[in-house]
Amino acid sequence: MSREHTLLKRMAALGEGGGSRSGATASEDVGALMESVRDHLARLLNARHGMCEALPDYGLPALNDLVVGSGDYMQRVEEAIRTTIEQYEPRLRRVRVTRLAEEEESQTKKLAFRVDATLVGRSGQHRVWYQTEVTGAGDFEVLD
pLDDT > 70 fraction of the chain, expressed in percent and rounded: 78
Give dist(CA 56, CA 45) in Å, integer.
Answer: 14
Determine the average pLDDT of the residues in 90-95: 97
Bigger pLDDT: 32 vs 106:
32
CATH number for the domain whose boundaries are 7-143: 3.10.450.40
How many Cα neighbours within 13 Å face the side chain of 134?
13
Determine the average pLDDT of the residues in 75-93: 95
Give dist(CA 70, CA 98) in Å, integer.
Answer: 18
Phi, then psi, of 78 in degrees rounded to 5: -55, -45
This prediction has a pTM of 0.76
Question: For position 1, what pLDDT does the model report?
Answer: 43
Ranges of each domain in the chain: 7-143
Bigger pLDDT: 20 vs 113:
113
Above 70 in pLDDT, residue 25?
no
Give dist(CA 27, CA 44) in Å, integer.
Answer: 28
Mean pLDDT taken over the chain: 82
Give dist(CA 144, CA 131) in Å, integer.
Answer: 7
CB 75 within 8 A of CB 97: no
In single-letter form, the type of residue at position 77 comes to V
Above 60 in pLDDT, residue 126?
yes
Determine the average pLDDT of the residues in 61-66: 74
Distance between first and last Cα of the chain: 22
Q: How confident is the model at residue 69 (pLDDT cuts 50, 70, 90)?
A: low
Above 60 in pLDDT, residue 47?
yes
Q: How far is CA 23 from CA 2, 34, 90, in A?
A: 7, 20, 22
Question: For position 19, what pLDDT does the model report?
Answer: 54
Residue 110 burial by Cβ neighbours in a 10 Å radius (0-12, 13-18, 19+): middle
